[in-house]
Structure 1
Amino acid sequence: MTHTPDATPAQTPSPSPSSSPSPVLVIGGTGKTGRRVVARLREMGVETRAASRSGETRFDWEDPTTWAPALEGAEAVYIVPLDTEPSPTPAFVEQAVAAGVRRLVLLSARGVDVPGYFGSPLLDEGPHLKGEEAVRSSGLAWTILRPGWFIQNFTEGVFLDAVRDGELALPVGDGQAAYIDTDDIAAVAVAALTEDGHDGEVYELSGPRALGIADVLDEIAKARGGAPAVYVAAEETAFRDELIAQGMAEVEAKLWTAALDPIRTSREAPLKDGVRRALGRPPRDVADVFRDAAAEGAWG
């Protein structure tokens, strides 16, 4: 399910603490999107449980005995799923229903419903899609978020060290992606957790423009000052072999390489309207995100 770019933004009331009288449980509460969701909810005065293996509320996807204590009394849940097979999300959703949860907001991924989107049949109908099926059939109010590649991969994620070191090698050629700000993802998640008007929605989330990797590195250079890091268009086999040489398991190296295919093929380039539909405003641009990141010393 996708939405046309000229769809009318959802008209929703302003959130208030009273809209969520019971705690909101945030799975992955210390992660890229989760910690931002926690911060926004608490700024609004919403009682919030930040749940993770190292969070205030202990939660471990691989230890189901931690699920029920985290769920107890929760009104709504933001689910950052474990991206493994078999997916534990369906079993967790069953426990959420039994615990009396009323609303689920699931972090999924762009392209999960498109066969071959990720460049490997091993990633088709994977854990994200199974998670979506579970929340849809739960009988609870639900909202699904489908973001593309995060802008923050360049400021605090997998590409950060390479950018700092001055050379980023990826097997994506001249492909483009409309990178999404994780703060925008969090804002949409919080709206769905605390407001009416988002039930049954699938929000496809992208940034406002598509960029190649070299363009992204140029934007970082503008934000921080100085010359940009060099982009090296690596060959897929060589890239995969290098990951294995660095200690990554062969199957993981293959999957990681395949996961980059939506950038290489520019499947991530089309702009999506989920942020505007959910929030009534455009998504933030990479230039704005990088300017803030530079001020915070992201690249040293």
Structure 2
Amino acid sequence: MTNTNVLVLGGTGRTGSRIVGRLRDRGIPTRVASRRGGSPFLWDDRSTWDAALRGASAAYVCYSPDLAFPGVAEMIGEFADRARGLGVNRLVLLSGRGEEGARASEKAVQETAAEWTIIRSSWFAQNFSEHFLLGPTLRGRLVLPAGDVREPFIDIDDLAEIATAALIGDGHAGAVHEVTGPRLLSMHDVAAEISAAAGRNIEYAPSTAEEFVADVARDGVPHDDARPLAELFESILDGRNASVTADAESALGRPATDFADYARRTAASGIWNPHIESHA
């Protein structure tokens, strides 16, 4: 793709910051848009949209907390229409695997953008080190309404590599990449992998949605954010995603990163060191 100027929504977040780093390493002009980024962008303030979009030729689109939430699909469709009107012809949308509610947002992009790529992702491995499950991990007790369901966790670094290629390269237009890690793990397996890497015991405690909300509240997660997440987990952690795809390996041109490799790398960073625990 020539004359590329890329807009990265959520460019200071977990996926966005990694994409921004990869784009800038390649010398690609990149605009970071977020609530606190160089280009202020708020989904619920449409007056911020045009300034972020103007002059870009491609955009990475992610919505937090989740595409499946009510009213989001309509907003994504409006954004895609605004983007195309301003000459942003290539959109790469981050979506969630197994989330029926997210399909409407995917469709809105597919029907509007001149070029589109959907990255339909399984659960992030980094949820245990950079997001709402860090506190429970530090406490040594993963409280989740997940039962014994198995999930093929994807490493965000793999996802960022795929998204970067879709934004600036060829061969991804019109593709739905349903990305997973290479192996299915239950939450018991996750606890065992983190325990082995961190050198201390982490246990998994199957919970109700209410117990999950109460546990993450200990880390300052507001009830209004935690409750919809708990309901979403209960709806998709029913076995529908208990399968591995080859999409990540195909897009990367190499095997996807295994959860054990992520755990060893993360443990070496010190983030799971109990001596720095501040969430108890």
Report TM bin, short chain. 0.7 to 0.9
Cα contact 1:172–1:263 (8 A) shared by 2: no
User: How far 1:175 sits from its partner (Å)?
Assistant: 1.4
User: How far 1:85 sits from its partner (Å)?
Assistant: 2.9
SS at match of 2:177: strand
Partner of 1:248: 223
Relative distance call for 1:277 and 1:231 in structure 2 (3 A) is same
Which amino acid in structure 1 is aligned with residue 99 of structure 2? Answer: V
Relative distance call for 1:234 and 1:35 in structure 2 (3 A) is same
User: How far 1:241 sits from its partner (Å)?
Assistant: 6.9
Deviations 1:69-116 (A, max 9, x none): 111110100001243432221111111011011211000110134xxx
Partner of 2:97: 110
**Structure of higher RCO (CA pairs closer than 8 Å, 6+ residues apart):** 1
Relative distance call for 1:269 and 1:76 in structure 2 (3 A) is same
Query: Matched residues, percent identical?
Result: 41
Distance in 1, matches of 2:213 and 2:130, equals 22
- Structure 2 unmatched runs, 5+: 274-280
SS at match of 2:14: coil
Cα contact 1:36–1:183 (8 A) shared by 2: yes
User: How far 1:243 sits from its partner (Å)?
Assistant: 7.0
Normalised TM-score (structure 1): 0.82
2:263 aligned to which of 270, 290, 299: 290
2:108 aligned to which of 105, 130, 134: 134
Partner of 1:85: 70
Q: Which sits farther off after the overlay, 148-157 or 262-271? A: 262-271
Matched, 1:164 2:149: no
Partner of 1:9: none
User: How far 1:235 sits from its partner (Å)?
Assistant: 3.6
Deviations 1:128-157 (A, max 9, x none): 323211211114111000001110001111
2:42 aligned to which of 60, 66, 73: 60
Relative distance call for 1:169 and 1:279 in structure 2 (3 A) is same
Which amino acid in structure 1 is aligned with residue 43 of structure 2? Answer: W
Normalised TM-score (structure 2): 0.88
Relative distance call for 1:93 and 1:247 in structure 2 (3 A) is closer
Which amino acid in structure 2 is aligned with residue 46 of structure 1? Answer: I
User: How far 1:253 sits from its partner (Å)?
Assistant: 5.4
Which amino acid in structure 2 is aligned with residue 143 of structure 1? Answer: T
Cα contact 1:155–1:298 (8 A) shared by 2: yes
